[in-house]
Amino acid sequence: MHIVLGGTGHVGSAAARRLIEMGEPVTVVSRDDSQRHHWEQRGAKLAVADVFDPAALRDVFRKGKRAFLLNPPADTSTDTDAQEKRSVAAILEALDGSGLEQVVAESTMGAQPGERIGDLSVLYGFEQGLRSQPIPANVIRAAYYMSNWDASLPMVIKEGRLESMLPADLAIPMVAPEDLGRAAAWLLTGQRGESGIHYVEGPERYSTNDVAAAFSAAIGKPVAVEVIPRDHWEAKYRELGFSEAAAASYARMTAVSVDGGFERPTASERGTITLQDYIDGLVRRAS
């Protein structure tokens, strides 16, 4: 049995679907029961457990042999760094005594130590915690999610504008959730006892200009890029409903990523879904 955290989100659900397609038994973990029928129709089980409850999570882990670990994003109206460090600690605690023989964990390209730099430091801490415990752990360092552009669709359709904090011509590694799900399923069904870091990105790198062009092709009208100046980043996050602490962390995370040119590993596993494929599907689902 494979246990999948984050099974109601983009990447976790993609991993669960791929495992089911492979004929593997799957239990999806959710904080509530609302998607039980959906997953049971697909042939999976659903277990209700709060990620902040290590005992409940451990009980779920004990029903399987392998697990996909994804630290859920915190509500942006909270102190996201503090909340996500709490959930990482709870997941790591739940592994102790779980009986799991192998785990695969989702991290991010650019993961590094630091203060108040969002997922870059939170997920680096997750990686370090996994290394210090006995269960073999493969880590996926994922490229920038193509699904991060989903929230831009209403503005793109209504106003023909695409806002971004990234320089318009900066090509960065991006990846579709489905490609990450396939990578996770492949690692979960691999040889027992393997550990290591796996970089996963899409078939090529893309800029914000490329994203605008993909949206333009999908909706059939021009889309202009509007780059938000760096000194407006925190204010923009607060405008979107982020707490002061979350806005500061996300702005610093963005700055570290941009200034470092995003991580450029010497070797990456490449997915097959292009940016245009992903945007076309996003637009179709919204119509």
Strand order in the sheet with 45-48: 45-48, 26-30, 2-4, 66-69, 102-108, 137-142, 196-201, 269-270
Residue-wise pLDDT for 38-93, tens only, equals 888 888 999 999 999 999 999 999 999 999 999 999 999 999 999 999 999 999 99
List of domains in the chain: 2-144+175-203+264-273 (3.40.50.720)
Residue 269: strand pairing partners: 200
Q: Could you tell me if 145 and 179 are in contact, meaning their C-beta atoms sit under 8 angstroms apart?
A: no
Q: Provide the whole-model pTM.
A: 0.93
The pLDDT, as a whole number, for residue 268 is 85
Give the strand pairing for 137-142 and 26-30: unpaired
Residues of the chain with pLDDT under 50: none
CA neighbor of 206 nearest in space, from 155, 150, 273: 273
The pLDDT, as a whole number, for residue 263 is 76
What gap in Å lies between CA 47 and CA 203, rounded to an integer? Answer: 35
